[in-house]
Structure 1
Amino acid sequence: MTETRLDAVKLDGAGPVYDQIRRSIRDLVLDGSWPPGTSVPPEHALMEQLGASRMTVHRALVQLAREGLITRRRRSGTIVASPPASHAMLDILSIPDEVRRLGQSYAFEILSRRDGKPSAELAALFELKRTEPVAHLVTLHRSGGQPHVLEERVIHLATVPAAAGERFEDTPPGDWLLKNSLWSEAEHAISAIAAGPREVELLAVTRGEPCLLVERRTWNQGKPVTAARLLYPGGRHRFVGRFGPYGAV
């Protein structure tokens, strides 16, 4: 266990001590200081460092586990949890899981990638600042050997620096982000657009055929994480959500 990780947990003097510990660890997880898989200092170490009782530290860790931020294991200790991948219509989608739920085989191909400051065209498309470096990827996902969705994505390298060294050979960018980054806020929009020359070739559709465009952006604590444009052949897909008066069911 590193001293740096233990020293990072601090009390701010506001409210009950257990909640100060909870907030401190929560912030370290949400701002990316402790990425998924990071070992959380054991209870006895936190007790000594913070001058807190075992019950107080235990209560803070139990609450963090309930919030889904850490995973507690008897033999291997406590680690920062991986964010759960959700597949509801209005949530962050795992495209491989989406395809497999249809009973089809999944495959993907990275068609292009460019890292660096965005061009004027790309900045306008994704509402980016020209000074912030991004990884710009175009990916074709296949279902049962047929084109499933064309994805164009930017990843903000200042927020997710690990993406700069990732080649995405085994895992597509969206799923890699679900496992290796955190998000605290997201927005999405669905619209219909006509297939252009590029879509005709890559999605095996006819010129002008309606396509469903799903646009998603995520942030973590106000910092942009990623933005994606997912283009589905309109005649092959529909999005279905079931919900009640208090949300999804």
Structure 2
Amino acid sequence: MSGEPLSLHQRILGDIGAKIVSGAWPPGHRIPFEHELTEQYGCSRMTVNKALTQLAKAGLIERRKRSGSFVARPRSQAAVLEIHDIRAEVEALGAPYRYERLSRTIRSAGKPVDEAAGFADATRLVDIVCLHFAGEAPFCLEERLISLDTVPEAEQEPFETIAPGPWLIGHVPWSAAEHTIRALAADKPTAKRLGVDAGTPCLAVERRTWTGGRPVTHVRLTYPGTSHALVARFTPEG
């Protein structure tokens, strides 16, 4: 709930994340060692390790054996094209994460959106819409189609407590992915779900994945453009 004090775990995530995002700690900067953070926050080593692990999963830091943790150096377009865990993104900002499934239906492909997503007519699909929250504010609207021809076990998963993204990563080894990134103005249904005005600029990331040449999923992730950005840093040598 809003107004509740942050846990030590969330404080560590928020403090380190803020220093990285602000540029106070540039790429390559060494993060204090675990024992130093343990003393600084008066917490257990396990709490510190959990926070650093989440920051690493979010791509903000790199952990090196016997050397410590360092602010990550972005790897050209991989910073944009990697498949990230939205929960890790939110928690790396120091905000509590919440997931809410809005709708889930099973239907056959045949809509124009299905053809554009690469699903042949009559392919059985799970059509799911859900929201990811950062604290009380909507962070990302997820609209996803999953092929039951490729992932039949998805038919039995309600996706009430787990988001489709991490569930798929745990069940299907994808072999290829395609990203399309575009700006769009929120239509009325999208604006209502994201809690913004209709016409608000948004950032939409569309992704298709395949396994062994068979389509697995198509997802559109829509973020309010005023509060989210995708950044890639690269050099001529990259």
TM bin, normalised by shorter chain, reads 0.5 to 0.7
2:136 paired with 1:140: no
Letter of the 1:147 partner, please give it: P
8 Å CA contact 1:122–1:128 kept in 2: the answer is no
Query: What secondary structure is seen at the aligned counterpart in 1 of 2:80?
Result: coil
Q: In structure 1, how many angstroms separate the alpha carbons of the residues matched to 2:116 and 2:189?
A: 16
Equivalence for 1:5: none
Out of 168, 173, 176, the residue aligned to residue 177 of structure 1 is 168
8 Å CA contact 2:58–2:88 kept in 1: the answer is no
8 Å CA contact 1:197–1:207 kept in 2: the answer is yes
Q: Which stretches of structure 1, 4 residues or longer, exceed 6 Å deviation after superposition? A: none
1:245 Cα offset (Å): 5.1
Letter of the 2:152 partner, please give it: P
1:158 Cα offset (Å): 1.1
Structure 1 gaps, min length 5: 1-84
The number of aligned residues is 163
1:119 Cα offset (Å): 4.0
Equivalence for 2:96: 105
Q: In structure 1, how many angstroms separate the alpha carbons of the residues matched to 2:196 and 2:237?
A: 39
Give a deviation string over 1:165-192, Cα, whole Å, max 9, x none: 1112321001111111110100101101
Structure 2 CA distance for partners of 1:157 and 1:137, relative to 1, 3 Å:
same
Q: In structure 2, how many angstroms separate the alpha carbons of the residues matched to 1:227 and 1:182?
A: 15
TM-score by length of 1: 0.61
Out of 177, 185, 191, the residue aligned to residue 200 of structure 1 is 191
8 Å CA contact 2:118–2:215 kept in 1: the answer is no
Equivalence for 1:115: 106
8 Å CA contact 1:149–1:230 kept in 2: the answer is yes
1:92 Cα offset (Å): 1.0
Query: What secondary structure is seen at the aligned counterpart in 2 of 1:243?
Result: coil
Structure number with greater Rg is: 1
Structure 2 CA distance for partners of 1:207 and 1:156, relative to 1, 3 Å:
same
Over aligned residues, Cα RMSD in angstroms?
1.8
TM-score by length of 2: 0.64
8 Å CA contact 1:195–1:211 kept in 2: the answer is yes
1:157 Cα offset (Å): 0.8
2:219 paired with 1:228: yes
8 Å CA contact 1:192–1:213 kept in 2: the answer is yes
Q: In structure 1, how many angstroms separate the alpha carbons of the residues matched to 2:143 and 2:225?
A: 17
For CA contacts below 8 A with separation 6 or more, give which structure has more relative contact order.
Answer: 2
Identical-residue share of aligned pairs (%): 44
Equivalence for 1:93: 84
Structure 2 gaps, min length 5: 1-56, 60-78
Q: In structure 2, how many angstroms separate the alpha carbons of the residues matched to 1:102 and 1:89?
A: 17
1:120 Cα offset (Å): 1.9
Q: In structure 2, how many angstroms separate the alpha carbons of the residues matched to 1:126 and 1:152?
A: 12
